[in-house]
């Protein structure tokens, strides 16, 4: 199955998601965060760096849960940033 290239908006949204997760993690270890969420540290690193722009929902849900983030708030923040970019 061929995966279609991501649009610039999808790439930007993935970068914003990664930045928000990285900020929420703060001083907490990437290794501990990943293991607590049940994902590999490499997966978390790729998401935080924006290299995985469209991670699976269960992966994000698990990471958000470990970091104490609401999925609604996370989604709202990512879309709010996109709307701010589009309004400029």
Domains and CATH numbers, the chain: 8-87 (1.10.260.40)
* Confidence grade of residue 3 (pLDDT, cut at 50, 70, 90): confident
| Most confidently predicted of 3-12, 17-26, 79-88 | 17-26
Residue 41 has pLDDT above 60, yes or no: yes
53 against 40, higher pLDDT = 40
* Confidence grade of residue 85 (pLDDT, cut at 50, 70, 90): low
Backbone dihedral angles phi then psi of residue 18, each to the nearest 5 degrees: -60, -45
Do the beta carbons of residue 23 and residue 63 sit within 8 Å? no
Question: What's the pTM value of the predicted model, to 2 decimals?
Answer: 0.84
């Amino acid at each position: 199955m061929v995966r279609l290239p991501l649009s610039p908006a999808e790439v930007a949204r993935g970068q914003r998601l990664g930045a928000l997760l990285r900020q929420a993690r703060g001083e907490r270890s990437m290794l501990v965060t990943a293991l607590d969420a049940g994902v590999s540290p490499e997966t978390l690193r790729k998401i935080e760096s924006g290299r995985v722009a469209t991670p699976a929902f269960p992966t994000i849900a698990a990471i958000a849960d470990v970091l104490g983030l609401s999925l609604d708030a996370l989604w709202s923040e990512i879309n709010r940033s996109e709307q701010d970019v589009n309004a400029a």
